[in-house]
Every structure is written in structure tokens, then in C-alpha cells.
């Protein structure tokens, strides 16, 4: 090819960025899972250094000239390199609007903020975290101006996770959810005790929970030769590459659901990353797609699969054997109801499927208003609690269980929460389509989860970032993303469960 | 200062190297403690990348010009920067003789070799490891020629760990040990069953061993807010900086000594690293000194302190409480003898103080001959076993317990083993000097270990790499390093123990 040398130079520079990312990811993993407290500050500086190095490459003049040259001759490139160049150009456009020193400081701030957040949450002390949160929000407000937006400043943040989506679209999306789901939620609130999940709150020995978490991750198809499962304050997944994909969960003695569905959720993310196609796995396209696609995979496994009756038929006996004192005499039917109890509760990650989106709507609205400057960080605990009462009819007993519950803001993830709801909608749409091709219920009953993994690999996972989110949804479902299947699924499932 | 800008540039470049080292260390730690198997290859490539980046800086023309300019004006610099420039120049001289591609390949090779070694050791399969070992030796043979040497090619390797020491000096050192110790060892061999350590080989529950390991590390003065203790195939210590110092040990159900003295040994290394002076901790001088000094600290704690009667007086009851079934009825006197039983045994890291140096002599001789090409790697299992019989009168039951027992060769550490013996000699010399200033026996009996930590900090630790090894020994003992105190100590201790 005429521009082979230009391409080689670009690929070589991208390889450096990939190595910086590798180092940053391992340092991040270490910080989240075991680093000693007093080592955090230095680790944060090192993270700042590596993000600065990536910045330096992306804003380098020669690199930019080469990218532009390749863009002018884009049709000479094969599809993979074509997409690599286009995506790199987007990164450049995003990053070069931000001054280097601000970018580096911000990245250092984030890694420190996450440790402080963990401490603040543990100590139920919002004021510990407040100064960091203020700095992060100030940066985000500057960032949206650097980046630019057409209608709403929050659009600039949404675009980082779900390219192209806007406040305008989301307002409609969430209004539809509110309008159709809230009436059902209100009816269920009146039948509060129709379903009990007390059996999930007995003593579940941590070591046994760990054992079952490993079992269930394997059962879903997570490959432990290419991955790890550990513990952290907030469950997360992290892919170094498809050969090393790591995830965490958390264990509470009196809460079986937390570790169980935490592990299943993260397995969904991690199985996705382990299934990226060989052709792209060593390129910048070799990771999961947008957050809305990524969350569709975790939620598909967590909810549509693992909160179905069929899923538990072959493995409920194993769960009973692991916790005989608690479950020996509990029939599957009761267990199934318990894991699907709908309850207007405090913690997002432990919310049932039906009330979940209200947790998201609350965060979505608060983030919009913070970015606009309509509300200030100091007032967050108060505002949080007021809106929890308004939307879910319940007031947090502590900031740890309220405004401090999520790591996202400490990690700078403003504009990210809506992806969870979009992910749920995508998951229902994908499941609907998968059911047209596979007999999913039978597969689950027979415990042949590898068939589902294979289907998802072929229709979604293997593409990595090679396709755009909408293209992926087209391939997997022959439709553009919409909320229809999601709302239909929830209404059908919960009307039946609560006999409404 | 006139050359401030030049100095700033150099310090900035060294900061980059420090960040590359930070990343490499964390990746190494991860590989040794938890990385999934299939992720190793990519991790090795990334390590290769970072060593290449450091190489690039050290061989950069402008950087070299700046270093030389500062060297010409060295008296304008303060003592810390002076030493930084001198040490950096040494690094440059060492590295620039090696071609970049060889250097990078070698570093990738090492990280892979270590994982393969662990597997080979586990499976008792030397042939798995052989191809890697051969490549490492070939590289080392090239390396000594690149580096150059006056008398013996092995001198070039020794110099990496103990600057200035030669085969000529070591032959004398080891001959002295052989001549004075072997007669005693032979006598003790005849009184084989005079002391028993069977009580240390009962069932010691792993979880209880872990608990006691944490206790003893804290007791010695290891600060867990600035460090970690984990598990790995071969115990090691690693310092990211004085605020994050990590160590590992290993646990066997039927061997209390392994985890106990493994932890104490590594605590010696790690306490050293945690005590580096604040004035140098963020510079390239902010780590422990030569291997002979570093090992003196681990061995001082492991042997001179923790294998003394006084040390156990205040804490033996705690050990008894931790393992009541095994130790409740064992008086301290018996325990003291058990942990000091001399036995011509297979495993170096578990050897008693007296026979230990014979393990080193064996490795020293083999390494010399491998580098000279007098013996070939294929013959190593045979040669190893023959010499074990000759020196220690015992033949390994497997290569795992023979030639595969140490990680060093897989890590490229040829020329390193002699430092262990030098470290032991230094430890005795330092202890002798410390006893002139402190009542060490009383301190141990009263359990006031912080006084010893404080003494070592002031006389050795705080200097980091600011002084040369011989200067450190001068400061700490007012003598140059010698083997007198070491041999005297061993002969006195073991003659008494065995009533010879």
C-alpha cells in the first residue's frame, strides 16, 4: 500500500498508548483490590503520568498529520484499519480541546478521589468526599465547554458513553418508562408483602458464597484461565485484553443476592470481553462497544437469564446443597419469587428490575442539574434524600446508603448512568431476537449456557468496537434500539409475579 | 545554579524511568501473585516495552550529553544530585553496550521464563524450563562480553549485585568458610539425631500460619499501612517506594518454618525499604543498597534475631496459643533447638544457618562453570545431584527439590547467589557492632523490636543508595566487610547447640 509507512507509524504509536493503558489498568486493579493505603498517592501520580503520555501522542503534530493523511486516503485501508483511524481521529478531536496540565491533573484527581470515596462511604462521611466531588464537577463543567454541544451541556457527557444520544431523546425515553412503569410500581407498593425475600437475608457464610460465585461464573462461561474473580468495594470488570479479563464482586453475610447477582452481572461484561474476535483483539477495536451495548450483556445475564425460572431449574439443587441450612426446605418456586421481589429500596445495584430505572432517572436528573449549575454539590445529600422519597417513597438511613453508594462520580463517570437503562432496553431487545432463533427456555433448563454464549459471541461480542452501537443492534436484532421490549417484558413479568 | 536547566531535564527523564519501573513492578507483582495463565504472554510483551523505553532514555544522545555536562561540573551539585548523576552514568555505561533489541527480548524472555519455571517446578519437569534457561545463559555469556571484565567472565555478573567484588576474592571468602565450617558440619552429621525438629513438621493449619505471619511481621516492625503480605511460589520482596513495600511468603501444612522464617526474612528486606530516608525516597537513590547489604538485613532478622533464644522469650507463648495442639507441651528450649537443627538438606531457603553457605558454594561453582562454558545446561540436573552428594551428602528426590528449586536463574539472576553468603557475613558484623551500642539480648527479651529497627534505620536503612556498600559497612561497623564475625558466630552457636 502507498501509505504503509504512515500506517505503520500510527499503529506503532497506538501500540504505545495500548501499553500505557495496560499499565494504568493494572495499577487501577491493584488500587481497587489490594494496594496499601499510603501507596495510593504515588500510584495516582503514576496514573497521571501515563494519561499524560497518551495525551502527548494523540496531540503530537506528526501523528496528527499522519492520521489526516490516512483519513484522506481512507479507502485504501482494510475495514479494520479504516475503523481504527476513524476512531483515533475521534479521540484526538475529543482530547485536543483539553489543555494537557488539566487533563493530567484530572486523571490524578480521579484515582485519588476513588480511594477517598471508598473511605467516605465506609465512614458514612460525605464531607470527606465533597472537596473531591466539587473538583470533578468543576472539571466536567469546563470539559463540556471544551468539547462543545448543540443543545444541552449534558449532551457532551452522554456522548462519551453512548455516541450521539441527547438529553432530548433521553427525556422521551425516561418519560415513557415513568409513564408505563410507575402505575405498576404503585400497585405493587400496595402489595408489599405479597412476596418475601427474607430467606435471602439469612446467614450465608462468606466462604460458601465465594465458592458459589466461582461456580456460577464458570457455569455462565467465564474462562478462569483467562481471568480472575476478586473482591472490591464496588463490583467492576476490567479487560486488559481477551486473555486477561478481571472482575470483582462483594460479599455480605446477610445478603446472598449481592454477591450472586453481582458476579453474574460482571460475568456478562467479562464474557463479552473474552469473546472479542481474534482479528481485532490486539487493536484499539479489541474491547467492548458503547456502554449501552456493554450493559446490555451484563443485564441480559443478570436479569433476563439469571432471574428466570428456567435458569435455576438445573442448578438450584446445587445452591441448596451449598447452603443447606437456609435453602434445603425452600422450593424453587419460592426462591424464584424471592429473587424477583420488587421493593422500593435504597441501593441501586441491589434494586429489582422494575424499580431499577427510577434509581437511574434520579441520577440522570441530578447530573443534568449539577452540570447546568442548577444545584450545588454541598446540597447533594439533602437533594438525594428528597428525591428518593419522591420517586421511591423511601429515605436513606445514611449517606453511605444514599448519595455515597456509587463509585461513578468519584471515577468521573458523569453521563454514564443512563447507559444502564439503555443497556436494559437493549438486553430485552436482544433477548427477544435471540428467542426467535434459539429455544432459550430449553437451553436454560438443560443447562447448556455455552449455546447462549456462542450466540452472543457471533451476533455481538466478536465485533468489539469494529461496528457502531446501532450497527451492532441492527445485526443482532434487525431493529434500531428502542424501549418497547424492555417495558413489555417488565410489565408482563411483574404483573404475573404480583398477580395484578 | 548554572546548570539547573540541564539538571532539571535529567531529573525529569529519570522520573520517567521511575514511572516505567513502577509499572513494571506492579505488572511483575501481579504476574507472581495472581495473573491468569493466558494473560502472561501479553504481560511479558508489555514488560519488554517498558524496559525498552528506559533503555531509550539512557541511550538518548541529549540525555547523555547532559549527564556528561553535569559530571564535568559535579562539584556544583549537592550530595544527593551528585550521587544520582554518578549512579546514572554507571547505568548508562552498563546498558549502552547491549543492543536495544537484545535488551528488550531478554526482558520479555525473563518474565515468561519465570512463569514457565513455576510450572516446571510444580510438574517436576526440568525439560520444560531447559529451553528458557539455555536462552538466558546464552544472553548472559554475550552480556559479560559486552560489559567486559578483567580476569574472570563471572566478575562482570558479580559486579551487578556487589560492585567491585571478584571471583578471586570470593574464592578466598568461600575457601575460608569451607575450611572452618566443614569440619564442624562433619562432626554434626555424626550427631544427626542429637536435635529433632519433628515438632515443626506436624499439621500447622494454613489459616493459622497466615495469622501468625501477619503478627510476626508487625512485631518486627513491618508497617501494613505501607505494605502487603501475600503468597507466591518463591518468597520475595518488592518496593514501589517507601510507602508501598510488598512481600510474599509461602505456606505448607507440614512445615511451620517455611512460612515463619520466610516471612521474617522478607520482613527484613521490607523494613529496610520502608525506612529509606525522606530526603532521597523520591529519587533513584531511594531503594536498598547492594544485594550484600540488602541480604544482611533479611538475614539479621531471620537468623541472628529470630533464631535466638531471647527473641522467642516474649512471643513463644503466643505461638503456643496459635498452635496449641502441636506446641502446648513443648518447652521453649526444645523449640529453640528445633529451629536451629543443623541438617544437610535439599532446599536452600530452608537450610539451617550452618549448612546454608554450602548451598551457595554449589550454586556459585555451577554458575561460574556455566558462564565459562565448562558445563552445559542439559547436564544440570545430573551435576546438581552429584554435587549435592559431594557437599551435603544428600541427593535430591526430584528436580523440583533440586535444580529447579530457585527462581533466580529464571529471573536472570546469575552472580546473585554469592550475595547471600556476603549478606550473612555482613549481618554478623553488623550485629557485633550493634551489640556494642545496644543491649540486644535485653531488647529482645523485652520485645522492644522497634529499638532495633530504629538502630538499623539510623545506621543503614536511611542511606538507601546514597552511600556505597563499603561506606555503609564503615558507618555501621567501623570496619570493612569481612567473614570473621560470621564464622565465629556459627562455630560458637553450633558447637554449643551440639555440645561439640
Q: What is the pLDDT of residues A244-269, one digit of tens each?
A: 999 999 999 999 999 999 999 999 99
CB A136 within 8 A of CB A113: yes
DSSP lists the bridge partners of residue B246 as B228, B238
* Backbone phi and psi for residue A298, each to the nearest 5 degrees, phi listed first: -65, -40
Instruction: Beginning with the edge strand found earlier in the chain, give each strand of the sheet holding B244-249 in spatial order.
Output: B227-231, B244-249, B237-241
- Name the 3-class secondary structure at A109: helix
Within 13 Å of residue A266, how many CA atoms lie on the same side as its CB? 30
Those residues whose C-beta lies under 8 Å from the C-beta of residue B493, and which sit 6 or more positions away, are: B340, B353
Give the CATH architecture of domain A167-497.
Answer: Orthogonal Bundle (1.10)
Residue B37 has its nearest CB partner, among A27, A29, A225, at A225
pLDDT value of position B233: 82
Determine which of B240, B282, B283 to mutate to test the interface with A (most A C-beta atoms within 10 Å).
B240
pLDDT value of position A98: 86
Q: Where are the beta strands (DSSP E) in B341-405?
A: none
CA dihedral A404, A408, A409, A413 (to 10 degrees): -170
Burial of residue B465 (number of CB atoms within 10 Å: 0-12, 13-18, 19+) = buried
Residues A122, A115: Cα–Cα separation, whole Å: 11
Residues B369, B154: Cα–Cα separation, whole Å: 9
Q: Which residues of chain B have pLDDT under 50?
A: none
CA distance B275 to chain A (A): 14
pLDDT value of position A186: 86
Chain B residues in contact with A225 by the CB 8 A cut-off are 36-38
- Which residue of chain A comes nearest to B281, CA vs CA? A42
pLDDT value of position B111: 83
Phi-psi region of B393 (alpha: psi -120 to 50; beta: other; left: phi over 0): left
- Which residue of chain A comes nearest to B49, CA vs CA? A19
Q: Do B26 and A30 touch (CB under 8 A)?
A: yes
Straight-line distance from the first to the last Cα atom of chain A, in angstroms, rounded to the nearest whole number: 65
Residue A1 has pLDDT above 80, yes or no: no
* Chain centre distance of CA A482: 19
| Closest by Cα among A480, A491, A476 to A436 | A476
* Chain centre distance of CA A278: 24
- Give the confidence band of A320 by pLDDT, cuts at 50, 70, 90: very high
Q: Do B36 and A228 touch (CB under 8 A)?
A: yes
CB A329 within 8 A of CB A320: no
Q: Please write the tens of the pLDDT for every residue from A341-398.
A: 998 889 998 789 999 999 999 999 999 999 999 999 999 999 999 999 888 888 999 9
Fill in the DSSP letter of residue B38: G
pLDDT value of position B211: 98
CA distance A20 to chain B (A): 9
pLDDT value of position B438: 98
Those residues whose C-beta lies under 8 Å from the C-beta of residue B38, and which sit 6 or more positions away, are: A225, A226, A243, A244
Residues B39, B406: Cα–Cα separation, whole Å: 23
Q: Do B228 and A23 touch (CB under 8 A)?
A: no
pLDDT value of position B108: 85
Per-residue pLDDT averaged across A224-241, rounded?
94
Residue B39 has its nearest CB partner, among A35, A50, A226, at A226
Domain boundaries, chain A: 4-126, 167-497
Q: Where are the beta strands (DSSP E) in B232-321?
A: 237-241, 244-249
| Closest by Cα among A374, A2, A418, A447 to A215 | A447
Chain B residues in contact with A241 by the CB 8 A cut-off are 39, 42
- Name the 3-class secondary structure at B255: strand
Burial of residue A202 (number of CB atoms within 10 Å: 0-12, 13-18, 19+) = middle
- Which residue of chain A comes nearest to B228, CA vs CA? A36
pLDDT value of position A396: 95
Active-site choice (B266, B273, B353, B367): B266
| Closest by Cα among A474, A341, A489, A367 to A419 | A367
Residues A336, A318: Cα–Cα separation, whole Å: 15
Radius of gyration of chain B measured on its C-alpha atoms: 23
CA distance B293 to chain A (A): 25
Mind telling me the catalytic residues of A?
266
- Which residue of chain A comes nearest to B45, CA vs CA? A19
DSSP lists the bridge partners of residue A437 as none
pLDDT value of position A115: 86
A with B: how many residue pairs have Cβ under 8 Å apart?
93
Q: B interface toward A at CB cutoff 8 Å?
A: 16, 19, 22-23, 26-27, 29-30, 34-39, 41-43, 46, 49-50, 224-228, 230, 240-241, 243-244, 246
Residue A324 has pLDDT above 90, yes or no: yes
CB B202 within 8 A of CB B254: yes
| Closest by Cα among B298, B389, B284 to B349 | B298
pLDDT value of position B26: 97
pLDDT value of position A390: 85
Q: Which helix (H) or strand (E) holds B100?
A: helix B100-123
The ipTM (two decimal places) reads 0.88
Q: Please write the tens of the pLDDT for every residue from A116-164.
A: 999 999 999 999 999 999 999 999 999 999 989 999 999 999 999 998 8
- Which residue of chain A comes nearest to B31, CA vs CA? A26
| Percentage, residues of chain A above pLDDT 70 | 100
Chain A residues in contact with B227 by the CB 8 A cut-off are 36
- Name the 3-class secondary structure at A153: helix
pLDDT value of position B312: 98
pLDDT value of position A192: 86
Chain B residues in contact with A36 by the CB 8 A cut-off are 224-228, 243-244, 246
Amino acid at each position: 500500500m502507498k501509505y504503509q509507512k504512515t500506517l505503520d507509524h500510527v499503529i506503532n504509536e497506538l501500540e504505545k498508548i495500548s501499553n500505557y493503558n495496560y499499565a494504568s489498568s493494572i495499577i487501577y486493579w491493584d488500587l481497587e483490590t489490594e494496594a496499601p493505603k499510603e501507596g495510593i498517592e504515588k500510584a495516582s501520580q503514576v496514573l497521571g503520568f501515563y494519561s499524560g503520555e497518551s495525551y502527548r501522542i494523540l496531540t503530537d503534530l506528526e501523528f496528527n498529520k499522519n492520521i489526516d493523511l490516512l483519513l484522506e486516503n481512507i479507502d485504501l485501508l482494510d475495514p479494520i484499519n479504516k475503523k481504527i483511524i476513524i476512531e483515533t481521529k475521534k479521540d484526538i478531536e475529543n482530547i485536543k480541546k483539553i489543555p494537557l496540565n488539566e487533563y493530567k491533573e484530572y486523571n490524578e484527581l480521579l484515582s485519588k478521589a476513588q480511594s477517598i470515596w471508598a473511605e467516605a462511604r465506609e465512614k458514612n462521611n460525605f464531607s470527606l468526599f465533597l472537596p473531591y466531588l466539587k473538583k470533578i464537577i468543576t472539571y466536567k463543567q469546563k470539559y463540556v465547554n471544551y468539547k462543545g454541544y448543540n443543545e444541552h451541556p449534558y449532551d457532551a457527557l452522554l456522548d462519551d458513553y453512548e455516541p450521539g444520544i441527547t438529553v432530548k431523546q433521553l427525556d422521551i425515553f425516561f418519560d415513557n418508562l415513568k409513564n408505563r412503569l410507575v402505575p405498576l410500581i404503585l400497585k405493587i407498593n400496595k402489595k408489599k408483602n405479597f412476596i418475601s425475600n427474607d430467606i435471602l437475608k439469612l446467614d450465608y457464610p462468606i466462604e460458601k458464597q465465594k465458592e458459589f460465585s466461582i461456580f456460577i461464573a464458570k457455569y455462565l462461561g467465564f474462562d478462569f484461565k483467562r481471568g480472575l474473580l476478586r473482591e472490591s468495594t464496588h463490583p467492576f470488570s476490567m479487560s486488559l485484553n481477551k486473555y486477561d479479563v478481571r472482575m470483582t464482586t462483594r460479599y455480605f453475610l446477610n445478603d446472598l443476592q449481592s454477591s450472586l447477582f453481582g458476579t453474574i452481572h460482571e460475568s456478562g461484561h467479562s464474557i463479552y470481553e473474552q469473546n472479542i474476535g481474534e482479528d481485532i483483539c490486539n487493536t484499539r477495536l479489541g474491547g467492548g462497544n458503547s456502554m449501552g451495548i456493554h450493559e446490555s450483556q451484563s443485564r441480559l445475564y443478570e436479569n433476563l437469564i439469571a432471574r428466570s425460572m428456567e435458569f435455576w431449574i438445573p442448578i438450584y439443587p446445587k445452591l441448596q446443597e451449598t447452603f443447606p441450612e437456609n435453602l434445603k426446605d425452600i422450593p424453587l418456586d419460592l426462591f424464584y419469587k424471592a429473587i424477583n421481589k420488587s421493593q422500593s429500596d435504597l441501593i441501586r445495584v441491589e434494586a429489582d428490575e422494575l424499580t431499577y430505572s427510577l434509581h437511574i432517572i434520579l441520577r440522570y436528573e441530578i447530573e443534568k442539574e449539577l452540570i447546568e449549575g442548577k444545584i450545588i454539590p454541598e446540597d447533594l445529600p439533602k437533594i438525594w434524600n428528597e428525591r428518593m422519597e419522591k420517586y421511591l417513597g423511601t429515605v436513606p438511613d445514611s449517606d453511605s446508603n444514599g448519595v455515597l453508594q456509587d463509585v461513578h462520580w468519584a471515577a468521573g463517570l458523569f453521563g454514564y448512568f443512563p447507559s444502564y437503562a439503555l443497556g436494559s432496553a437493549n438486553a430485552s431487545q436482544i433477548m427477544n431476537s435471540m428467542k426467535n432463533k434459539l429455544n432459550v427456555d430449553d437451553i436454560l433448563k438443560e443447562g447448556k449456557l455455552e449455546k447462549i454464549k456462542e450466540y452472543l459471541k457471533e451476533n455481538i461480542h466478536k465485533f468489539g468496537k469494529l461496528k457502531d452501537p446501532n450497527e451492532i443492534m441492527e445485526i443482532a436484532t434487525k431493529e434500531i434500539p428502542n424501549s418497547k421490549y424492555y417495558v413489555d417484558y417488565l410489565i408482563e413479568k411483574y404483573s404475573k409475579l404480583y398477580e395484578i
